[in-house]
Amino acid sequence: MSEAAQEFHFSPRPNRASEINWHAWSPEAFDAARQTRRPILLSISAVWCHWCHVMDETTYSHPSVIELINRDYVPIRVDNDVRPDINQRYNMGGWPTTAFLTASGDILTGGTYIPPDQMAGALMQVSDYYRANQTEIASRVLDARKRAASGVARSAGELEGRLVDDILDSVKAAYDPEYGGFGNAPKFPQTDAILLLLEQSTIRSDENLRRMAVHTLEKMVGGGTYDHVEGGFFRYSTTQDWSVPHFEKMLEDHAGLVYGLVLAGMPEALEMTTGYLDRVLRDPKTGLYAGSQDADEHYYSMDAEERARSTAPFVDRRVYTSWNAVLAIAYLSSPSHGEVARSAGGGSKLLDSLFKHAYRKGEGMTHAEGIGGQLADQVWSLWASLRAYQHGFGQKWMDVALDLAAHIEERYGDPELGGYLDHAGGDELGRLGERIKPLAENSVAAMALIELDILTGDPASPYRERAGRALESVAALPRQYGLMAAVFARALDRLGHAIKVTTKNAELAHAALTAHPYAVVDPSGDERAVVCVGTICLAPVSSPDAVKEAIREASQTRA
C-alpha cells in the first residue's frame, strides 16, 4: 500500500487516485504552492461519499489527469468529517468538492464531481490563467476578503418575538402532507424541523403539529430510506416519496432521528434503529460510536441471507465527538436506554468513554483522534454533560459543564459582538482566518447555556446573557434559512419557556421531562418535586400526575 493510500481514504474499489501526490492540509502544502507558484487543487471528500468514490475510480484514475495534477498543481485532500471548518469555507455545493485555489488559499473556481475529460480541460485552463493573470487575481482576492470580513457583523440581529412563529410557519409550508417530510426531491430528514414540530405540539397543545412529525417519521421508516433488514436510516432520498435513497448511513443523522423517535413515541422503530447503531457502529470495547457506514447499493438490495454471506460496507471507525455527544443526549431521553444508562455500566459507558477519550480540563473537547476541537464538539458536549447531571450521574458532570462553558467563552467567544466562532483559531491557513458564526452551533450553545443558567440558580450568573447574545449573533440568518433555521427556533423558544423541576426522584423527573420539552431537572432536591418558573415556585408535589399538573399551572403562569 502506498504512503498516500495509508494517509488518505480512497474508494474501496480499484482506482489509481493514490498516484496523485496528495498533501494534507498543512503549512508545508501552502509553502510548496507559493514556492512553485502553482495553484492548489483542493479535494474535499468523505469516507461515506458515493460520488467521491466514483471520482477516485474515474477522474483521479485517468492517466492524463494524474499527470496534469502532479505537474501543475499542489493537490490537497481533506476529509469533510475530519475538518468541517475547511468544508464550511470551501464546499462548492456537495461532495466531492473540487476547488481550484490560489497559493494563499483563495478560491479561483470549482465544482463538485468533474468527469475525466472535463477535468483535464479545466486543469489546463486554470493553470494557464493562474500563470498569466496574477495582478487580476490579487485584486479579486482583496475584494473577496473585504466582503468576508463583514460577514460576522451581518449575521447579527434582534431577537424578534415572531421569529419562532415565522420559522414554524416555514416548516409547515414546506411539509409534504402525502409523503411526509419537507419539500420535494431530493428529500433530507431535516431532524430539527421534526423536533421543532414535536416540541411545539406540546408547548402549543397543537396535535396537528405532532401528526406532521409522526407522519414524516412513519413514511421514512416505512419507505426505501430505511434499511428493513439491518435497521437504520440511509442519508436521504433522491425521490419525494422516500423510495430511492443514497445508501450511506451517518451517525450524525441517526443521533437526531433517535431523539425524534423517542419524542414521537415509536418504540418499535426506535428499537430497530438503536439495534443497528449498537450492533454495527458501536465499539463494544469503548462504548463509542463510529462515524458512518459506506453506501453500497448492491449490498443493500440483498435480503438477510444474502447479506450474511457478503462483506458489509466499510465502517469509518473514527470517533467524532459532537456526533457521539448528540447520541448520548438522545439515548438519555429514551426510556429503554435511559434506564440502562442510569444503571451500573450499560449506556453510561458512552458518556464516560467519550469524555475520557476527548476531554481535558481547561482544554475542552477534541474533534477526533489527533484533531483539535471545533465549536460543535464543545457545545454538544456541554449539553450532554448537563443532561448527565440531570439524570443523576453525579456532581462531576456539573463540574465538567462549568469548565466547558468557561472554555467555550474563552476560546470561541466573540467579546465584541457576542456569540461563538466555529473554530478556536490556531490554523489560519487559507480562508480559515475568516470568522464564521454558524447558526446551528450557536443555537445549541444557547440551549445548553439556558439549562446551565437554570441549574446554577444564581441570578447573577452570566449564562443566560451569553445564551441571548449567542442567538442575537446569528439572528439575521433565520429569514434566509427558512425551515433550516428550526434549531434556532428551538433555542429561542427555550429562552422564554424553560421550566425548572427540582427532585432526586427518578419517576418524578421522568414525568417532568415527558410533560414539558423544556423541563430542566435539578437532582439536588428531595423525593418530592418543586416546579419553578423564574423566581416563582409552586408547592412540592409527590406523584407523576401532580408533577404534570404543576407544570401545566406553571406554564400558564409564565404565559
Upstream peptide bond of 186 is cis (omega within 30 degrees of 0): yes
Task: Locate the domains of the chain by residue range.
Answer: 3-149, 180-318, 498-559
Q: Distance between CA atoms of 186 and 33, rounded to whole angstroms?
A: 38
Taking residues 295-323, what's their average pLDDT? 96
Please name the residues in contact with 17: beta carbons below 8 A apart, sequence gap of 6 or more: 10, 11, 56, 57, 60, 61
The per-residue b/e assignment along 194-233, b for 16 or more CB within 10 angstroms, e otherwise, is bbbbbbbbbbeeeeebbebbbbbbebbbebbbbbebbbbb
Taking residues 429-435, what's their average pLDDT? 91
Residue recorded with cell 473514527 = 318
Q: Which helix (H) or strand (E) holds 536?
A: strand 536-537
DSSP string over 286-339: T--B-SEE---HHHHTS-HHHHHTSPPPPEE-PPPHHHHHHHHHHHHHSHHHHH
* Nearest CA among 464, 443, 460, 440 for reference residue 520: 464
Q: Reduced to 3 states, what is the DSSP secondary structure of residue 16? A: coil
pLDDT (tens digit, 9 = 90+) per residue, 474-517?
999 999 999 999 999 999 999 989 999 999 998 999 899 889 99
Q: Distance between CA atoms of 38 and 131, rounded to whole angstroms?
A: 8
Higher pLDDT, 221 or 155: 221
What are the residues facing 79 on neighbouring strands? Answer: 45
Contact 65, 120 (CB under 8 A): yes
- Per DSSP, helices labelled H in 365-515 are 375-390, 395-412, 439-456, 463-472, 478-481, 486-497, 506-515
pLDDT at 327 exceeding the cut of 50: yes
Cell of 43: 479535494
What are the residues facing 368 on neighbouring strands? Answer: 371
pLDDT at 2 exceeding the cut of 50: no
Q: Reduced to 3 states, what is the DSSP secondary structure of residue 544? A: helix
Taking residues 57-75, what's their average pLDDT? 98
pLDDT (tens digit, 9 = 90+) per residue, 132-142?
988 787 777 77
Q: What are phi and psi of 447, to 5 degrees?
A: -60, -45
* Nearest CA among 117, 76, 121 for reference residue 98: 76
Asked whether the CA dihedral 262, 265, 267, 273 is positive or negative, the reply is negative
pTM value is: 0.95
The angle that helices 335-342 and 348-358 make with each other, rounded to 10 degrees, is 70
pLDDT at 186 exceeding the cut of 80: yes
Taking residues 430-441, what's their average pLDDT? 94
Number of alpha helices (DSSP H) and beta strands (DSSP E) in the chain: 26, 15
pLDDT (tens digit, 9 = 90+) per residue, 335-376?
665 554 444 334 467 999 999 999 999 999 999 999 999 999
CATH fold of 3-149 reads Glutaredoxin (3.40.30)
pLDDT at 35 exceeding the cut of 50: yes
Taking residues 465-472, what's their average pLDDT? 98
pLDDT at 149 exceeding the cut of 70: no
Q: What are phi and psi of 242, to 5 degrees?
A: 65, 20
Q: Distance between CA atoms of 442 and 378, rounded to whole angstroms?
A: 11
At 161 the pLDDT is 81
Taking residues 76-82, what's their average pLDDT? 97
Residues in the chain, how many?
Answer: 559
At 559 the pLDDT is 61
pLDDT (tens digit, 9 = 90+) per residue, 87-109?
999 999 999 999 999 999 999 99
Domains 3-149 and 180-318 share a fold: no
pLDDT (tens digit, 9 = 90+) per residue, 374-426?
999 999 999 999 999 999 899 999 999 999 999 999 999 998 889 999 998 77
250: left (phi over 0), alpha (psi -120 to 50) or beta: beta
At 466 the pLDDT is 98
At 514 the pLDDT is 87
At 150 the pLDDT is 60
At 340 the pLDDT is 46
Q: How far is CA 434 from CA 82, 260, 321, 428, 545, in A?
A: 19, 34, 24, 8, 52
> What's the chain's average pLDDT?
93
Which class in CATH covers the domain with range 180-318? mainly alpha
At 344 the pLDDT is 35
Contact 439, 478 (CB under 8 A): yes
Q: How far is CA 322 from CA 66, 385, 419, 466, in A?
A: 36, 12, 19, 21
pLDDT at 3 exceeding the cut of 80: no
Maximum C-alpha span of the chain: 79
pLDDT at 124 exceeding the cut of 70: yes
* Nearest CA among 76, 60, 73 for reference residue 119: 60
At 444 the pLDDT is 98
At 1 the pLDDT is 38
